Amino acid sequence: MSTVTATSCAHWNIEFDEHNIAWLHLDMEDSKVNLLASTVLEELRGIVDELAKDLPQGVIIYSGKKSGFIFGADINEFLELEDITQSQPFLNRGHEIMDKLEALPCPTVSMVKGMCLGGGMELALACNYIVASDDASTRLGLPEIKLGIHPGYGGSARSIQRCGPLPAMDLMLTGRAIPGRSAKKIGLIDDCVPERQLRTAATSFVMNAPKRKRPPFVQRLANNWILRPVVAQQMRKQVARKARQIHYPAPYNLINLWQRYADHPKQMLHEEAVSVAKLATSETARNLVRVYFLQEKLKNQGKKVKFEPAHVHVIGGGIMGGDIASWCAIQGYSVTVQDQDPSRLAQTFKRAQSSFKKKYKRDRRAIVAAGDRLMPDHKGYGVSRADIIIEAIFEDVDVKRTLYQDIEPRMKPDAILATNTSSIKLEDLSSSLKNPGRLVGLHFFNPVAQMPLVEIIRGNESDEEVVQKALAFGRNIGKLPLPVKSSPGFLVNRILMPYLLEAVTMVGEGVPPEIVDKAATDYGMPMGPIELADTVGLDICKSVAEILSAALDMPLPDNLNEMAAANKLGRKSGEGFYQYRNGKPQKNKGARYADIQKVQDRLVMRLLNEATACLREGIVESDELIDAGVIFGTGFAPFRGGPIHYIREAGKQKLADRMNELRHEYGDRFESDTAWAGL
Active site residue 455: yes
The interface region with ligand NAI, picked from 88-96, 218-226, 420-428, 569-577 by CB under 6 A, is 420-428
The least distance separating ligand NAI from the CB of residue 542, rounded to whole angstroms, comes to 13
By CB under 6 A, is residue 294 in contact with ligand NAI? no
By CB under 6 A, is residue 395 in contact with ligand NAI? yes
Residues 464-483 that bind ligand NAI (CB under 6 A): none
What contacts 223, CB < 8 A, 6 or more positions away?
160, 164, 165, 215, 262
Residue closer to ligand NAI by CB (options 290, 425) is 425
Strand, coil or helix: 528: coil
Among positions 340, 353, 487, 561, the unique one binding ligand NAI when judged by CB under 6 A: 340
Helix (H), strand (E), coil (C) string for 294-346: HHHHHHHHHHCCCCCCCCEEEECCCHHHHHHHHHHHHCCCCEEEECCCHHHHH
**CA 660 vs CA 125, 214, 500, 552: distances in Å:** 55, 63, 20, 20
What are residue 584's phi and psi, to 5 degrees? -110, 135
Query: DSSP E strands: which ranges in 79-150?
Result: 108-112, 115-117, 129-133, 139-141
Residue closer to ligand NAI by CB (options 344, 494) is 344
Q: Please, are residues 324 and 444 in contact by the beta-carbon 8 Å criterion? A: yes
By CB under 6 A, is residue 420 in contact with ligand NAI? yes
Residues 111-140 that bind ligand NAI (CB under 6 A): none
Specify the pairing of strand 12-16 against strand 2-3: antiparallel
Active site residue 420: no
For residue 287, give the nearest of 676, 621, 644, 651 by alpha carbon. Answer: 644
Taking CB atoms, the residue at the shortest distance from ligand NAI is 318
Among positions 41, 222, 320, 442, the unique one binding ligand NAI when judged by CB under 6 A: 320
For residue 45, give the nearest of 81, 73, 16, 8 by alpha carbon. Answer: 8
Number of residues that bind ligand NAI (CB under 6 A): 24
Exposed/middle/buried for residue 63 (C-beta within 10 Å: 0-12, 13-18, 19+): buried
Residues 519-548 that bind ligand NAI (CB under 6 A): 540
By CB under 6 A, is residue 403 in contact with ligand NAI? yes
The least distance separating ligand NAI from the CB of residue 549, rounded to whole angstroms, comes to 16
Residue 211: count of CB within 10 angstroms of its CB = 6
The least distance separating ligand NAI from the CB of residue 333, rounded to whole angstroms, comes to 19
The interface region with ligand NAI, picked from 29-37, 143-151, 192-200, 393-401 by CB under 6 A, is 393-401
By CB under 6 A, is residue 401 in contact with ligand NAI? no
By CB under 6 A, is residue 378 in contact with ligand NAI? no
What contacts 301, CB < 8 A, 6 or more positions away?
456, 471, 474, 475, 481, 482, 483
Strand, coil or helix: 543: helix
By CB under 6 A, is residue 271 in contact with ligand NAI? no
Exposed/middle/buried for residue 303 (C-beta within 10 Å: 0-12, 13-18, 19+): exposed
By CB under 6 A, is residue 629 in contact with ligand NAI? no
By CB under 6 A, is residue 341 in contact with ligand NAI? yes
Q: Please, are residues 274 and 261 in contact by the beta-carbon 8 Å criterion? A: no
Among positions 207, 346, 368, 399, the unique one binding ligand NAI when judged by CB under 6 A: 399
- Bridge partners of 261, per DSSP, are none
Residue closer to ligand NAI by CB (options 223, 422) is 422
Q: Could you give the string, one character per residue 298-317, with x where binding to ligand NAI holds by CB under 6 A and - elsewhere?
A: -----------------xxx
Residue closer to ligand NAI by CB (options 285, 352) is 352
By CB under 6 A, is residue 68 in contact with ligand NAI? no
- Dist. CA 435–CA 452, nearest whole Å: 30
The least distance separating ligand NAI from the CB of residue 530, rounded to whole angstroms, comes to 17
Residue closer to ligand NAI by CB (options 282, 347) is 347
The interface region with ligand NAI, picked from 100-108, 159-167, 289-297, 336-344 by CB under 6 A, is 336-344
By CB under 6 A, is residue 381 in contact with ligand NAI? no
For residue 129, give the nearest of 209, 232, 242, 239 by alpha carbon. Answer: 209
What's the distance, Cα to Cα, between the start and end of the chain in Å?
A: 61
Residue closer to ligand NAI by CB (options 277, 424) is 424
- Dist. CA 653–CA 648, nearest whole Å: 9
- Dist. CA 183–CA 359, nearest whole Å: 19
The least distance separating ligand NAI from the CB of residue 554, rounded to whole angstroms, comes to 19
- Dist. CA 625–CA 495, nearest whole Å: 13
Residue closer to ligand NAI by CB (options 180, 489) is 489
Catalytic residue, candidates 355, 493, 609, 672: 493
Residues in the chain: 679
- Dist. CA 22–CA 48, nearest whole Å: 11
By CB under 6 A, is residue 446 in contact with ligand NAI? yes
The least distance separating ligand NAI from the CB of residue 570, rounded to whole angstroms, comes to 12
- Bridge partners of 314, per DSSP, are 337, 390
- Dist. CA 453–CA 625, nearest whole Å: 12
Among positions 275, 326, 338, 486, the unique one binding ligand NAI when judged by CB under 6 A: 338
What are residue 228's phi and psi, to 5 degrees? -55, -45
- Dist. CA 440–CA 470, nearest whole Å: 7
**CA 445 vs CA 389, 480, 634: distances in Å:** 18, 11, 9
Among positions 183, 393, 614, 644, the unique one binding ligand NAI when judged by CB under 6 A: 393
- Bridge partners of 12, per DSSP, are 26
By CB under 6 A, is residue 421 in contact with ligand NAI? yes
Catalytic residue, candidates 223, 355, 422, 609: 422
Residue closer to ligand NAI by CB (options 174, 421) is 421
By CB under 6 A, is residue 673 in contact with ligand NAI? no
Instruction: Estimate to the nearest angstrom the gap between the alpha carbon of 274 and the chain centroid.
Output: 28
Residue closer to ligand NAI by CB (options 336, 421) is 421
Catalytic residue, candidates 43, 391, 408, 455: 455
Catalytic residue, candidates 334, 443, 462, 502: 443
The least distance separating ligand NAI from the CB of residue 75, rounded to whole angstroms, comes to 33
Active site residue 443: yes
The interface region with ligand NAI, picked from 69-77, 417-425, 603-611, 614-622 by CB under 6 A, is 417-425
Among positions 275, 422, 430, 634, the unique one binding ligand NAI when judged by CB under 6 A: 422
By CB under 6 A, is residue 319 in contact with ligand NAI? yes
By CB under 6 A, is residue 318 in contact with ligand NAI? yes
The least distance separating ligand NAI from the CB of residue 160, rounded to whole angstroms, comes to 42
The least distance separating ligand NAI from the CB of residue 420, rounded to whole angstroms, comes to 4
**Residues taking part in catalysis:** 422, 443, 455, 493
The site for ligand NAI (CB under 6 A) is made up of: 315-321, 338-341, 344, 392-395, 399, 403, 420-422, 444, 446, 540
